[in-house]
Structure 1
Amino acid sequence: MPENLYGLMTAAGLFFLFLLLLALASPVRVYGKLKRKGELDHIDVRIVGLYGLLHYKVKIPQLKWQGATIQLHQQISSNQAGVQHSKEQQGKIDAENVQRFVEKMRQALEVTDNLKGWVKQLLKKVQLTEWKWSTSVGVGDAMWTAMTTGAVWSIKTTMLGVISQFVLLKADPVLQVQPVYQGTYFQTEWHCTAKLSMFHAVKSGLALLMRLKKGSHGIQVWHHILFK
């Protein structure tokens, strides 16, 4: 009997070890989509992990500029091992929100040792597997439309060059800029997929905990930054 119990415990331990290794080998994928046509905006962000068992989605079907304030409507849904949650909420981005964000970043830098270095190390493990960005633009004048088209090309290539310094490009980026000479027009659509292994995600999380300067106080500060 003890031998059978020992064998069962060993088998159970190996099984859970296998599940752990399988989980750590699974990728965390982030899908981003942005579309703007005229004054209408649409933003989707999805995070999928553990082979689809974890699924988090933020959808912003409405985004309006009102002076220096951006009003937005959010639809947030999550699926954790078959348990679904969803909610809708109104929000805004204004000078006060920006100031609050800057203050949170200041606090994060204060309680974390070399936070910038940690971010760089994390981004080095991120693989960019899709980057598609198409834009159609017209300003009502042929010459100015041609110049604007060139400027948009320059912005896109510069942005992609900067991003490639921090993450690993695993697919050829697709960039398109289409001039519209018939009148004033603007439409842009962007798709992006990034991948990070669960192992590196967990490792980076543990590394962040090790960098906290003030123990439990540092954990409280980060909890406030992420969830308040």
Structure 2
Amino acid sequence: MSVLIARKVIEEWLMRRGCKVEEELSDREVVFIEGNNRIYVRIAHEEFPTESFIVDELSNVMKNRLRYNKAYLALPMKARGLINGKLFRSQWVGVYLYDLEATDPDKSVEELIPSIPIQTQMSDAGAVISRLTQLEEMVKSLQESLSQLNMGALRSEIQELRNRVSRVENMLNTVISRVEALERNTHVQGTPQGTGGGEEGGSIPSAELPDYLSNNPWIEVLRRRGGS
């Protein structure tokens, strides 16, 4: 019952400051609208709160922190001396202190620590989530395609290609060896067997001379001059 009273006190206090209730998430959680800001408020109604209790409640607020521009934890006035302001500020969470016995409505709630506003990007987050979903579907499709591949047949085809390449290399080596042997035989057959006989200094058979030197009378003249 006390949590409902505390929520009503906080709602009225905020509404007098221009806020409107947007959504009631639970008896202890309410979302308010303030201009373009969405404010999340969690109400703790422990009569005798402890430091560990407050830390636990802060952890519960942090679960929803990034969904709202501002976030507050509402605690009884008795919790004032137990609140670690540095811890709350580091998490960008504010603190409301409420007094159910206050006779002045404007003094029934105190903003002990203001919430540091953040810019939520829900539309961008939705686009990111949508893109991630598409990527997950693509990965799943690729996995299914890979699972359908016959890896055994693929390995067999690769091995067959390797065997063909090896056979081609062997054939090339054989051809190269034969060509080299033919070149050696041709060189031996074309080498003159001797230089003896004939005229002084030896003569070159006309058959071995190019056409423009064969039966050329100047060859004999030059040979004689060279021998004189």
Determine which structure has more spread, i.e. the larger CA radius of gyration: 2
TM-score w.r.t. the length of structure 1 is: 0.23
TM-score w.r.t. the length of structure 2 is: 0.23
Higher RCO (CA < 8 A, seq sep 6+): 1
